[in-house]
Each structure stands twice: as C-alpha cells, then as structure tokens.
C-alpha cells in the first residue's frame, strides 16, 4: 500500500525500490496536477487497435507525451492529425513501467486562433521595440472636454451606449460620429482615414470603439496600419475595443485603454457618484481577488509544507561543498600567486639585461674605439695613397716621351696630330709639326726618298 507521497523518508534511511519511487511520483503528480489545460501542437500521433490514442504535445521549446483512452477518444469530434493545434485537459501522471512523465487526457479541443495569436504577439513585440507602447508618449485625457470625436460603426449598441452615458453624465459635451466599418478587411483603411480626419478637426479627445467579438472579428484593430495611425494621432485617443477581457494592439498604442465603450465614455465624462460606485466595485473585486489569492496561496503553502524537507541535511551538504570550494580557491590563489611571482622575476631579469644604460655604455666604448682608430686609419690610408702615387709617377716618367724629347729627340705630327712613324706616311711638300723637348717647329718634307729616281740613259 502506497503511503502519503508527501511523507518524508524514515529516519533509518529508508531505501525505495524503483517501483516504489515511480509509484510515489505518480501519486504526487496526479495529486498536484489533477486537472489542467495545456495548449500545443500534435505530433507522433498513434492509433493502435485498442482504440486508445497516443501523441506528443509540443511547442517551440518542449514536448510532453499524452494518452487519450478509448472512452474519452470517442467523444472527440475533431479529427486529430499531426500538426494540429489543440487545447487539452487532463491530469499529469507517470507511466510506472518506463518512468515516463505523461498527460492522461479527458478532453481535446481545437485551438483555432493559434496563428492569429502568433501574429498578434509578433506585431506586439515589433511595435513595443519601436517604443509605440511607451508610457512617456501617452497623452493625458482632458479633464473637461467640450468636443469629442467617436470613431465607430453608426449602427449597433456601441454608439447608443456612448451617447447614453454622455447624456446622463455630461450632456453639455458635443459628440461627433465619424462612421466607419469595424470588421472585415475594408475596415482597416476606413479606420485609418477616420483617425486622420478626426485628428485634423481639433477635437479634445477621440474614442475608438467597437463591441465584443471573436479574435477574428476584432482583428482589424490588431493591424499595423491602424496601430501606426493611432500612434501618429496628436489628439488624445481612448481605445474601447471589445469586452473587458478582449485585448488588441490598438489598446496598447492608444493613450488610454477602456474595457468597454461605455467605460470610455465614463472616462471622458466622470462624476463623483459614479466614481464612488466604481471605487466600491473595485473594492469588492479587490477583496474577492484577495480572498481567492489567499485561498490559493494557502492551498499551495499546505502542499509545499508537506513536500518540504528538513534543511539540516541540505545545509550540511552546502557547508561541506563550501569548505571544499574554499580550499580549492586557496590552492588556486596560491598557485596563481607563485606563477605571477616567477613571471615577475623572469621579466625583472630580462629588463635588467635590456636596460638602456648598459647598451649606451657599450655603444660609447665602441664610439671611443672608433674615434681612436679613425685618425690612424686616415693617416695610414693617406700614406698608402701617397706611396702608390709616387710609384705611378715614376712608372709614368719611364714611359713618357717627354724624357726622350729632353735628350734631343723630336716627334713629328701630321695635320691630324698623328705621330709619324715612317717616311711612307708622308709625301713631298707636306707640312708637319715637330715637337721638341721645349717648343715646336713647323717643317716641310722636301723629299721622303720614297719615289724611285729614274736616270736617262741618253745623258
């Protein structure tokens, strides 16, 4: 027999079998989550011959197995298939044989507005990131309005309710209706034009109103074009779309959101008696919610009290872990400190080796040595160059024709300044220049003895 699942294990360290553990976990889950609603998408749908239905219910971040037994499956009118968005009701349980956590269902309903909800949340996140919902851009409503524009359908109870409230509370206020469709695709452009037109007419405030309906019926008030038209409107605007529980993008962008069209009229035409009644109503609602919250928290506290384990064991474990972490921290700190000391010593040694004073001393010593070697090198180089020059001068004098000319010889040069080396290079009557050891002479060839002499045989 399974005992109370919240009962703490015995002081003698009771050891459970796997079956006992799974049994207690199942009873615990079924006791806490006896009947809950969950929304998600069907996947891995299976229909065995037993008539039971098994599938996985998932969303973008998690999944849970579900079981719909034959008697409850027969009452489901919707044709179940993979990918279908549904809302299910049942209890959380545990399949003890495998230890798998699952939902035992008794009701499955379609979640038809899932796509619209996703679009709603996406646009809400986008406009919120742009600051269209920011409180600092909200304009306060006028305390005593004189002219009010109403953007709504000219037919239906909404306009009559608004007129009735103003007639009863503030008959002196001038009301102007800007008729527009409030449902369907054509309503989007009409609402945008009506807001722009009303904003240009100098009203003290505007009321954007529509009666209740499904999410699809109210969808034109969740369109981006309408939201941006409301954000661009300079005149303070009250959004009163649907019933109190209905929430639209227009409510977030508008300066004030009213739960109903009548409430919007009351916001712009308040009186003391109504404020007193509203205060009493809010007081009653607050008291009721506080009572409900206290009951809920009391039940939750009772459940937590039964599940609460003695903190002594946890504190001892945490104290032991704290000691271990403290020792590890000290060792790590000491090790890191030693590493930093060793590295500092190495850097200090390298810094001392690379100190600029030592380098400057070496460079100065080298400069002094070079300064001593430079004059000697210059003297040696000059002496060597002087000796080589003298030797070359002596060699030049040996081969110079000037020495030969100085001994009484001369050099004959033709008109082009070429030296005459043989008589064959001249002709009779040619003028030549004779270069002497000192000065020059102009001479003429009388006979170079190159022409043969012919003697007459008759002479």
Residue 203 neighbours by CB distance under 10 Å = 23
Q: What is the pLDDT of residues 141-191, one digit of tens each?
A: 998 888 999 999 888 788 999 999 988 888 888 999 999 999 888 889 999
pLDDT at 55 over 90: yes
pLDDT at 101 over 80: yes
Domain end position, chosen among 270, 297, 330: 270
Q: What is the pLDDT of residues 345-356, one digit of tens each?
A: 888 888 777 777
Q: Are 15 and 9 in contact (CB under 8 A)?
A: no
Kindly indicate the confidence band of residue 279, based on its pLDDT and cuts at 50, 70 and 90. Answer: confident
Could you tell me which residues come within 8 angstroms of residue 69 by beta carbon, excluding any fewer than 6 positions away? Answer: 52, 104
pLDDT at 230 over 90: yes
Q: State the chain's mean pLDDT as an integer.
A: 84
Maximum average pLDDT range among 93-102, 113-122, 205-214, 230-239: 230-239
Q: In CATH, what number is assigned to the domain containing residue 210?
A: 3.40.50.2300
Q: In whole angstroms, what is the distance from residue 138 CA to residue 124 CA?
A: 17
Q: In CATH, what number is assigned to the domain containing residue 71?
A: 2.40.50.140
Q: In whole angstroms, what is the distance from residue 251 CA to residue 237 CA?
A: 10
User: What's the pLDDT score for residue 244?
Assistant: 77
What is the side-by-side strand order in the sheet with 147-152? 174-179, 147-152, 205-210, 237-241, 256-257
Handedness of CA 432, 436, 438, 443 (dihedral sign): negative
Q: In whole angstroms, what is the distance from residue 164 CA to residue 169 CA?
A: 9
Q: What is the pLDDT of residues 317-341, one digit of tens each?
A: 787 788 888 889 999 999 999 999 9
Decide the pairing of beta strands 85-95 and 411-413: unpaired
193 and 161 within one domain: yes
User: What's the pLDDT score for residue 24?
Assistant: 85
Residue 360 lies in a domain: no
pLDDT at 407 over 90: no
208 and 143 within one domain: yes
User: What's the pLDDT score for residue 424?
Assistant: 81
Burial (CB count <10 Å: 0-12, 13-18, 19+), residue 14: exposed
265 and 155 within one domain: yes
State percent of the chain over pLDDT 70.
Answer: 90
Residue 245 lies in a domain: yes
Q: In whole angstroms, what is the distance from residue 264 CA to residue 254 CA?
A: 12
156 and 63 within one domain: no
| Ramachandran angles phi, psi of 60, nearest 5° | -70, -15
Q: In whole angstroms, what is the distance from residue 262 CA to residue 270 CA?
A: 11
Residue 420 lies in a domain: no
Q: In whole angstroms, what is the distance from residue 412 CA to residue 431 CA?
A: 10
pLDDT at 292 over 60: yes
Could you tell me which residues come within 8 angstroms of residue 307 by beta carbon, excluding any fewer than 6 positions away? Answer: 6
Q: How far is CA 79 from CA 41, 108, 185, 383, in A?
A: 14, 10, 30, 119
Could you tell me which residues come within 8 angstroms of residue 116 by beta carbon, excluding any fewer than 6 positions away? Answer: 215, 216, 219, 222
Kindly indicate the confidence band of residue 8, based on its pLDDT and cuts at 50, 70 and 90. Answer: low
Residue 155 lies in a domain: yes
Could you tell me which residues come within 8 angstroms of residue 196 by beta carbon, excluding any fewer than 6 positions away? Answer: 229, 233
Pick from 236, 239, 235, 237: nearest CA to 210? 239
Q: In whole angstroms, what is the distance from residue 165 CA to residue 168 CA?
A: 5
Q: How far is CA 71 from CA 51, 105, 106, 188, 385, in A?
A: 9, 11, 9, 47, 126
pLDDT at 459 over 60: no
290 and 179 within one domain: no
pTM as predicted = 0.40
Residue 22 lies in a domain: yes
Q: Which of 7-21, 242-256, 438-452 has the lowest mean pLDDT?
A: 7-21
258 and 158 within one domain: yes
Domain that holds residue 257: 134-270
Residue 423 lies in a domain: no
Residue 121 lies in a domain: no
C-alpha dihedral (320, 325, 331, 332), degrees to nearest 10? 170
pLDDT at 252 over 80: yes
246 and 150 within one domain: yes
190 and 142 within one domain: yes
- How many domains does one find in the chain? 3
H-helix or E-strand containing 164? Answer: helix 157-169
257 and 300 within one domain: no
Residue 446 lies in a domain: no
210 and 173 within one domain: yes
User: What's the pLDDT score for residue 2?
Assistant: 46
Give the largest CA-CA distance in the chain.
183
- The residue behind tokens 């661009």 is 232
Handedness of CA 156, 157, 159, 160 (dihedral sign): positive
265 and 145 within one domain: yes
Burial (CB count <10 Å: 0-12, 13-18, 19+), residue 340: exposed
Question: What's the DSSP call for residue 67?
Answer: E
pLDDT at 74 over 90: no
290 and 257 within one domain: no
- Token readout for 417 is 């300044």
Kindly indicate the confidence band of residue 1, based on its pLDDT and cuts at 50, 70 and 90. Answer: very low
């Amino acid at each position: 027999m399974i005992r109370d699942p919240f009962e703490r294990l015995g002081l003698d360290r009771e050891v459970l079998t796997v079956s006992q553990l799974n049994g207690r976990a199942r009873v615990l889950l079924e006791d806490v989550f006896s009947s809950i609603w969950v929304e998600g998408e069907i996947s891995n749908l299976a229909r065995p011959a037993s008539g039971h239905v098994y599938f996985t219910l998932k969303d973008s971040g998690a999944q849970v197995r579900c079981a719909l037994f034959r008697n409850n499956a027969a009452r489901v009118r919707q044709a179940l298939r993979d990918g279908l968005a549904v809302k299910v009701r049942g209890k959380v349980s545990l399949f003890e044989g495998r230890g798998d956590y699952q939902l035992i269902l008794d009701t499955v309903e379609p979640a038809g507005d899932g796509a619209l909800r996703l679009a709603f949340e996406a646009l809400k996140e986008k406009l919120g990131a742009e600051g269209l919902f920011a409180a600092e851009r909200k304009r306060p409503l006028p305390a005593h309005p004189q002219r009010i524009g109403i953007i709504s359908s000219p037919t239906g109870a909404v306009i009559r309710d608004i007129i009735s409230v103003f007639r009863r509370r503030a008959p002196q206020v001038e009301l102007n209706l800007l008729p527009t469709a409030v449902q369907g695709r054509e309503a989007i452009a009409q609402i945008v034009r009506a807001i722009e037109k009303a904003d240009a007419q100098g009203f003290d405030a505007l009321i954007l109103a529509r009666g209740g309906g499904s999410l699809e019926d109210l969808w034109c008030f969740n369109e981006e074009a309408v939201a941006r038209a409301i954000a661009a409107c300079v005149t303070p605007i009250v959004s009163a779309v649907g019933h109190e529980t209905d929430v639209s993008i227009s409510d977030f962008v508008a300066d004030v959101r009213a739960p109903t069209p009548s409430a919007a009229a009351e916001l712009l035409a308040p009186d003391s008696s109504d404020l007193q009644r509203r205060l009493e109503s809010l007081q009653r609602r607050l008291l009721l919610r506080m009572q409900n919250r206290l009951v809920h928290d009391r039940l939750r506290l009772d459940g937590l009290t039964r599940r609460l384990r003695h903190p002594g064991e946890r504190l001892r474990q945490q104290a032991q872990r704290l000691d271990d972490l403290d020792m590890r921290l000290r060792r790590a700190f000491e090790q890191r400190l030693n590493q930093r000391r060793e590295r500092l010593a190495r850097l200090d040694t390298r810094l001392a080796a690379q100190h600029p004073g030592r380098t400057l001393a070496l460079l100065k010593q080298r400069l002094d040595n070079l300064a001593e070697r430079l004059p000697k090198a210059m003297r040696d180089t000059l002496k060597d160059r002087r000796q080589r020059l003298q030797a070359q001068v002596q060699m030049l004098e040996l081969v110079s024709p000037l020495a030969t000319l100085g001994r009484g010889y001369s050099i004959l040069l033709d008109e082009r300044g070429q030296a005459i080396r043989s008589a064959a290079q001249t002709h009779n009557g040619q003028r030549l220049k004779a270069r002497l050891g000192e000065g020059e002479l102009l001479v003429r060839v009388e006979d170079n003895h190159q022409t043969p002499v012919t003697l007459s045989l008759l002479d």
